[in-house]
Structure 1
């Protein structure tokens, strides 16, 4: 059954509850706005609509705070702009365009979507204060500007407050429920990923997708967990447990793919007892994933850890094999911590786990492009308004700016915006029928207004509750409200409604075209930037605080891995190597952190100098192998470090052999990547020479 037919003919109970809650929140905000005689009560409804996205109480509270904060800041900036350039509209619009661009650029540098929405509201509120002051007053005064700012802040804050209260009191949905689900998904996806990586005949595409699934689940867990602090005193404990789970999962992923490579590309270097351990590892993690008992899964992991320890003690191994066995024990230790963190999310009162949230990787180029895109959209709307002189053109400077900032985070913003435009096209005839025909015939009271205006909004909210139809529902609900403009002094002018419809559609189409023309940087540019940024971070690890290195590096690499996986998906199957390269960068960071921890205890200047040189050579070798080059400096740096450790440190023989096995494995990794990417570069040169 098509998605819309299934949505409306076989609706789920949760969808109906969501739509009813949204309708009640909007009716309450409209009632209070009309009772308070606010100038434009429909902005309170629009505020409430945006808060219906992700309706869990903690997320609604967080989004409401970001919305109110963005409104206050945007209103203050709007008043300041008009105070400085009240008699110079051109300068006021220019400053406003800079403010819009700044907020758009800042929104691209944060991971939390609620903060992104806060930046969008800050830009939109300042736009409303400045533009409405210029449109509806031939000679704006300080009092009229301030009055406009207070009205916009009151309307938006009222809508946010009503939506938050209804979300908390009526069929409340809690963030902790979805975080518990996210945590189970992270654990199961990680264990499944290990099974895929340690299966010799595993499908390459499935193995790659298993890594992508883990990374996406971790980022989703980290993004949503911050809102749990608004859900009671146990919320902070759940946030800490979620942070531990996210951090340990990324650390585990950094190790898992190494074992998969050893089994697939260098089985001859692994002795039979090491292969048996890896197979035992795979089978045990499968049993841990299948069991529903946390205690049983923990016992399976502890038993496996003891078996690996016994194998290490009973067998003679090469340095590389010793390193593999040591890494297997570390994987089991990480799995135990993950199980503890998963349990602690449910029993937050008893947890003592603590870890910071994932750091954010901020790409200045993406921020610049997002700011330029939003500024361009605003400038085109301003030109249209100045040229036409129509008050309806104000919508071209408000709605497209909000959507431009919000949709810039989407993987395919133009596709999502096209769905919004389709939803808006359905909203136009609906608004004409219900707003200009039915409401014009109805008595002028609030009850009849809700009875006529509410049913289409209820159906739009049902679409908003379903992820596949969310963009359609968002476009319908927002544009339907803007066109009807419910309030105390409604006008039923069809011409005015059509003018607003044309302005909204033209603005959204312009935004869609701008997204198509000013898209994200090409894969080659972003690949170069992401690899260079990873190499820079590898160099910085030794200069940062040791206790927070892992958390800082994990967060920055999580977003890079997501982007590399996205670029990989656009390439042919035989050339999808970018995610594998990114996972190598993640592993190199953890290798560096462990080396730093071990060598920090030795204050011998020659050892420290050799370790710093080795770290720089490691970052350089990673960057070169990404472009098909091998770096002999890394081998020389490794030999020098091992010589210094043997001659000038009190490190025991087993630890030195572990480091030797580690460097041997890294040389194999760099060689493999250099061969892969040199073949790709050679193929590209041949195609270029043949004119392909």
Structure 2
């Protein structure tokens, strides 16, 4: 803010608020990303506001419609991301547009006035962004890279534990799956931030995403093994339990000594390959082909995960392509978020302009930003209530400072002595979740009341100071009411079955793909199921969470097994024949799993036996097909029993 004073910007407080927002991020990657996003959004928002103000200078009605429309688009686009920096980007865009459009309404709508507001807003924010970037880089920078390494290591250990738990208690298995899902999402978010930390950061992010993909494989294989284990003979179970017990003994030392784990896994893979040739039982009833191959694949993947984690900063040749765990699309909530922001912006603009409340223009600006930033947060109305309380406290704390400064805060040394201590106390609360909302309202209100400006006149307008802050509190309360009227739609309704939440991902995964090397598409769909499961579990109670994880596990299990069958078949028969056989089979599985239209799915082995092509009939009794038919049938039967 002091630098903005020295650069003679009229509203240096914008530079300070910009710095505060940027330093909400705890590490270098996020600070740089937030600064970059703020630069882009401020410039784009300034240009958009400049054009809108120029076109609607003589028509407040069209100015309100245009502003509300731009805010609605920004609010809707901000919803489809887990990255808070992406959300702040659209929030800053909305603030800039609102200021450039609304401020000239009461100080004059001439082209010179509009241009001055544009230059002041954009220049001040850019000054704050540049300074924050320099400070973050020069003074004790904290890099995301180390956090990502630690998180990826924890994810690798979680994957190892999952590999040891598929034979045990279901509740323990589900708890560990939930923890692994959360770790997977956290690693993806850290990898996204790490890409902003130079070449090392990009290499580390690439390696972490390769680990993420292999962990997705481990989850899918663990679900398949759990299903196969329940169908195995006592002898088969005993054999697998012995192998898993040996793997479990490596868990404690895996992170500290990955070489020892790798050696153990290689030895067991060789032994399993030799053992599986003599232990395969009929139709998957014993130590069948699926269990044999999956156990070998599980051990191989775990070894590769720890090996890749040890070389996270290196480019490894022939490494699997990593996956980006994207946020699942929520069309309804996206539209509701945009519509809510549109209604508030339009209504607040109408109230402000029709009442002639010249000093109350912030009733539009600040709550509009809150409607974007809090769109994905839980219990928005509660958070807004706390922010409104903080606003009230900020007015009480800011008025004495404002009176003491006598409207001449351009005396920088006086500003530091009077305003800084009270603001510092409020900012301390931003570091705690239980006090964050109160502190945010306090800090905003305090800065709005004091409003440091580059003014050399000694003037005192207490009513202006109170009104411009009070309107923020009033707008926050009105926005909270609007959040109650237009709430976010929960993922699961009271009578909605958990499987229906994953219907979209199942449909996309079951689309016919002629290319046999399409497994990356299946990885992405499974990753979306993981992301959605984590989001749903954050909304529901413990009992419903178990049901959600069970449904997610079934979806992953069926999707993975169908993917393997499709890839296997497409390599052995003509693409046209493969598609004609697989499409009705997948449609029937999907209808049974999600909608309950069929009680029995016709096995793929029967479809192959009835095919006209001789090569298809020869594959009908292949153990791979027969065992997958059996395991998929188990999942569908379990789902059908629960539905009844």
* TM-score above 0.5: yes
In the alignment, which residue of structure 2 is the partner of 1:623?
A: 594
The answer to whether the Cα contact below 8 Å between 2:91 and 2:372 also exists between their aligned partners in 1 is: yes
Q: How far apart, in 2, do the equivalents of 1:283 and 1:630 lie?
A: 42
Question: Cα distance 1:90–1:190, how it changes in 2: closer, same or farther (>3 A)?
Answer: same
SS at match of 1:635: coil
Residue 97 of structure 1: CA displacement? Answer: 0.6
Matches within 5 A, 1:572-611: 572=543, 576-604=546-574, 605-611=576-582
In the alignment, which residue of structure 2 is the partner of 1:295?
A: 259
Question: Cα distance 1:436–1:225, how it changes in 2: closer, same or farther (>3 A)?
Answer: farther
The alignment status of 1:280 with 2:253, answered yes or no, reads: no
The answer to whether the Cα contact below 8 Å between 2:68 and 2:345 also exists between their aligned partners in 1 is: yes
Q: How far apart, in 2, do the equivalents of 1:642 and 1:461 lie?
A: 71
Q: How far apart, in 2, do the equivalents of 1:231 and 1:252 lie?
A: 29
- Give the TM-score, by structure 1 length: 0.84
Q: How far apart, in 1, do the equivalents of 2:586 and 2:149 lie?
A: 39
Q: How far apart, in 2, do the equivalents of 1:181 and 1:516 lie?
A: 40
The answer to whether the Cα contact below 8 Å between 1:419 and 1:475 also exists between their aligned partners in 2 is: yes
Matches within 5 A, 1:359-370: 359-370=326-337
Q: How far apart, in 1, do the equivalents of 2:512 and 2:70 lie?
A: 35
Q: How far apart, in 2, do the equivalents of 1:262 and 1:162 lie?
A: 59
Question: Cα distance 1:259–1:478, how it changes in 2: closer, same or farther (>3 A)?
Answer: farther
SS at match of 2:361: helix
Question: Cα distance 1:39–1:312, how it changes in 2: closer, same or farther (>3 A)?
Answer: same
Root-mean-square deviation (Å): 2.9
Choose from 552, 576, 579 the match for 2:524.
552
The answer to whether the Cα contact below 8 Å between 1:385 and 1:393 also exists between their aligned partners in 2 is: yes
- Specify which structure has the higher proportion of helix: 1
Q: How far apart, in 2, do the equivalents of 1:526 and 1:428 lie?
A: 49
SS at match of 1:577: helix
The alignment status of 1:533 with 2:504, answered yes or no, reads: yes
Choose from 57, 64, 82 the match for 2:28.
57
- Residue ranges of structure 2 left out of the alignment (5+ in a row): none
The alignment status of 1:648 with 2:602, answered yes or no, reads: no
Q: How far apart, in 2, do the equivalents of 1:193 and 1:418 lie?
A: 42
In the alignment, which residue of structure 1 is the partner of 2:311?
A: 344
The answer to whether the Cα contact below 8 Å between 1:99 and 1:123 also exists between their aligned partners in 2 is: yes
In the alignment, which residue of structure 2 is the partner of 1:374?
A: 341
Choose from 274, 288, 296 the match for 1:310.
274
Q: How many residues align?
A: 632
Matches within 5 A, 1:65-214: 65-137=36-108, 140-200=109-169, 204=171, 206-214=172-180
Residue 298 of structure 1: CA displacement? Answer: 2.3
The answer to whether the Cα contact below 8 Å between 2:503 and 2:594 also exists between their aligned partners in 1 is: yes
Deviations 1:139-161 (A, max 9, x none): x1233222212221112222222
The alignment status of 1:500 with 2:463, answered yes or no, reads: no
- Give the TM-score, by structure 2 length: 0.90
- Residue ranges of structure 1 left out of the alignment (5+ in a row): 1-29, 679-692
Residue 271 of structure 1: CA displacement? Answer: 3.6
In the alignment, which residue of structure 2 is the partner of 1:423?
A: 390
The alignment status of 1:334 with 2:318, answered yes or no, reads: no
The answer to whether the Cα contact below 8 Å between 1:373 and 1:514 also exists between their aligned partners in 2 is: yes
Q: How far apart, in 2, do the equivalents of 1:420 and 1:585 lie?
A: 41
The alignment status of 1:481 with 2:450, answered yes or no, reads: no
Residue 87 of structure 1: CA displacement? Answer: 1.2
Q: How far apart, in 1, do the equivalents of 2:468 and 2:147 lie?
A: 39
The alignment status of 1:465 with 2:431, answered yes or no, reads: yes
Higher deviation after alignment, 450-459 or 161-170: 450-459
Q: How far apart, in 1, do the equivalents of 2:408 and 2:100 lie?
A: 33
Question: Cα distance 1:147–1:199, how it changes in 2: closer, same or farther (>3 A)?
Answer: same
In the alignment, which residue of structure 2 is the partner of 1:450?
A: 416
Question: Cα distance 1:528–1:663, how it changes in 2: closer, same or farther (>3 A)?
Answer: closer
Question: Cα distance 1:668–1:514, how it changes in 2: closer, same or farther (>3 A)?
Answer: same
